[in-house]
Amino acid sequence: MTETIHIGRDALQELPELLKNRAFSRVAVLVDENTLHHCYPQLKRHLPEHDLIQVKSGEANKTLQTCEHIWQRMTELNLDRWSVLVNLGGGVIGDMGGFCAAVFKRGIFFVQVPTTLLAQVDASVGGKTGIDFHGLKNHIGVYQEPQAVFIDPAFLQTLPQRELKSGYAEIIKHWLIADKDMFMEQRHIGLFTEDWEGLIRHSVNIKSGVVEADPLEGGLRKVLNFGHTVGHAVESYLLEQQERALLHGEAVAVGMLCEAWISKKHGLLSEQELSRIETFLVSVYEKATLAEQDIQHIAQLALQDKKNTKSTINCTLLSGIGKAVYDQPITVQEIIESLRYYTLL
């Protein structure tokens, strides 16, 4: 990976150095209304003269329409190709800001300053940028590394508990695919930990190790997608029905349960391991209510997954707690059955 990742309470102090050394022509900061209020005052102290670009928060706004607004503002601000966009926010801001920067005038620089747990442990690392298209998750996007990532756990102090839990799902995912001991040790204490920094470092190490080995997802990187074949389908489907929408990590938690069940069905995971995963995830996440007709629609959406080849759904499954295998063909019918299993938990 080419990006430098700074983690810790003094991470932002490294930002002025980068901005000075690279002599960017202009600096713009992308915020939503929440990061403007809670996070910008802290960031501002570390920035030279800059402009703000503000968008509305939330997954429902990770769209082409919002990109148009961002590109319009970039144009009005006369950003040239030696400008830098500082993405201050969660995964929505990071993914969308990264994408807008990567294609504006064929590419300006960007920096990630993640402010949610989810973005600090996952979204800010690895160079996947993009937006949703007609409700399909990250359907349009490019791989582009930021200049650097600055992860300050102090931002988490204002993050709502529901958002913390959502981010925690990606931490659990990292344990399930790569660290059995960490998974087995947790007894729901993670959410109330004082040591966010330790958990963030651990997750970032797992993710960046995988990304370094396979930055463009030719193979190994697909392990990071565990829980997402079903998870993205659930997230896309419920996003259309505003009041039922799940956060990304909540949907991934549903996806991890379903894909663990499919792993067991394929003889890759033991009954005991499945039951351990079940107990833990059900203790952290509230069950989503899914009717049979929801299940049928969700399963069809998995046909749009980016890991698929022709009409084969290639899923990442677990071959034990702490071990993942990618490119495992699964069927729509198995997704339906796994979602039925989920509803009965």
Ligand X SMILES: O=C(O)C(=O)C[C@@H](O)[C@H](O)[C@H](O)COP(=O)(O)O
Contact partner, 259, from ligand X, ligand NAD, none, Cβ < 5-8 Å per class: none
CB of 180 to ligand NAD, least distance (A): 22
Q: For 216-266, give the DSSP string.
A: T-SSGGGGGGTTHHHHHHHHHHHHTSGGG---HHHHHHHHHHHHHHHHHHT
Stretch that binds ligand X, among 62-70, 105-113, 217-225, 282-290 (CB under 6 A): 217-225
Residue 122 binds to ligand NAD (criterion: CB under 6 A): yes
Min separation Cβ 171 and ligand NAD, Å: 11
From 5-13, 151-159, 180-188, 224-232, give the range in contact with ligand X by CB under 6 A: 224-232
Given 73, 165, 202, 221, the catalytic residue: 221
Q: Which of 26, 128, 165, 202 is catalytic?
A: 128
Residue with tokens 């695919």: 177
For residues 95 and 141, is the Cβ–Cβ distance under 8 A? yes
Q: What are the backbone angles phi and psi of residue 337, rounded to the nearest 5°? A: -65, -35
35 binds, among ligand NAD, ligand X, none (CB under 5 to 8 A by kind): ligand NAD
Cα separation, 45 vs 283, whole angstroms: 40
C-alpha angle with apex 189: 188 to 193, nearest 5 degrees? 145
Answer with the entry of ligand NAD, ligand X, none that 228 interacts with (C-beta below 5 to 8 A by kind). ligand X
Q: Residue 248 catalytic?
A: yes
H or E element at residue 66? helix 64-76
Of 73 and 248, CB closest to ligand NAD: 248
User: How many residues in the chain?
Assistant: 345
Distance CA 230, CA 302 (A): 6
Binding positions for ligand NAD, rule: CB under 6 A:
32, 34-35, 38-39, 57-59, 62, 89-93, 95, 115-116, 118-119, 122-123, 126, 128, 137-138, 155, 158-159, 163, 166, 170, 247-248
Q: What residues are annotated to the active site?
A: 106, 128, 170, 207, 217, 221, 225, 228, 232, 248
